[in-house]
Amino acid sequence: MSDLFSKIKEVTELQAISGHEAPVRNHLRCKMQPFVDRVETDGLGGVFGIKNSQLADAPKVMVAAHMDEVGFMVSHIQADGTLRVVEIGGWNPLTVSSQRFTLYTRQGNKIPVISGAMPPHLIKGTASLPAISDIIFDGGFTDKADAEAFGIRPGDVIIPQSETILSANQKYVMGKSWDNRFGILMVTELLEKLQDTPLPNQLIAGATVQEEVGLRGAKVATNQFDPDLFFAVDCSPAGDVYGDQGKVGDGTLIRFYDPGHLLLPNLKDFLLDTAEDAGIKYQYYCGKGGTDAGASHLQNAGVPSTTIGVCARYIHSHQTLYALDDFLEAQAFLQDLIKKLDKGTLDLIKSY
């Protein structure tokens, strides 16, 4: 088992949905502390390590993953002991049925739950796309009182249960939550690799909360730390097997557009020049969803922002597929960007 895969397995098998990010926050804080001057937390639970520069005019550069993955929250306990839920983050209803989950009670108890699927014998040609609110979650309880006796209450969280494994050719990984444990691992690897490197900027690297429910944590973190430049590190959906943009294995992404963010021309030039000078494998990407860059660039007086990322197949489900090499390209790219970002470079990016 490779060192990189071991790290991926560790971070992706953590379970933490929006608003309940403590397992990832604790992991990240522990990994960051040896490599930064201090660790700070924002008011919603985002956590960032600060690596100071020796230069008086050093710009502040923020690198932000997000801790949360998609999941569910109990909305009702039915009389028969089954559960109904609300979705936390975006789900395709077709991926939800017949899967394993872990339910966490207020007391911290971990309870196995599965999502129900109607057998073909009962469908009788009347099947239609289900609403998330109609999907049955079943822990094998005999009735509502039995479920409540185990401490289950509305508001408890239900999180995908999935083992992270390697593909047969050892090039790809399969499992949950690469969106966005990719970013968490990017941050910890960045800080470790740059621990002995003097930087021309003050590096603020860590992770936000509640990205999957509206980019909420990025607004808070950007306001608190007031960076001059913001890099989201995030995973985007690959469209390669559907004949669309974003191919697994083709390198890091130059994400030039999404519905909430336009890449500034001078920042785009900086990204492309850096990638080409360093021999980074990259691909152009037009996003259909958003990242924390979309929230951060509108904060304070406006913060030049972009996303450093990779793509993965079948995200927001129990089983995502992605390339080990893409992570390595993205990590090398991010390190080169951070090492080059001095005040003069920032001034050029912001010369409108």
The residues annotated with a catalytic role in the active site are: 211
Structure tokens at 238: 């690959």
DSSP state of 53: -
Per DSSP, the chain holds a count of helices (H) and strands (E) of: 10, 18
- The C-alpha atoms of residue 12 and residue 229 are separated, in whole angstroms, by 28
φ, ψ (nearest 5 deg) of residue 331: -65, -45
φ, ψ (nearest 5 deg) of residue 38: -165, 160
For 98-113, b where at least 16 C-beta lie within 10 A, e where not — what string?
ebebebbbeeeeebeb
Q: Decide: 46 and 219 in contact? Cβ < 8 Å.
A: no
DSSP string, 278-346: HT--EEEEE-SS--HHHHHTTSTT---EEEEEEEEBT-SSS-EEEEHHHHHHHHHHHHHHHHH--HHHH
Half-sphere exposure of 47 (CA within 13 A, CB side): 22
Q: Tokens 């980074």 map to which residue?
A: 280
User: Which residues does 69 contact at the CB level (< 8 Å), separation at least 6?
Assistant: 15, 16, 17, 89, 159, 160, 176, 177, 179, 180, 181, 212
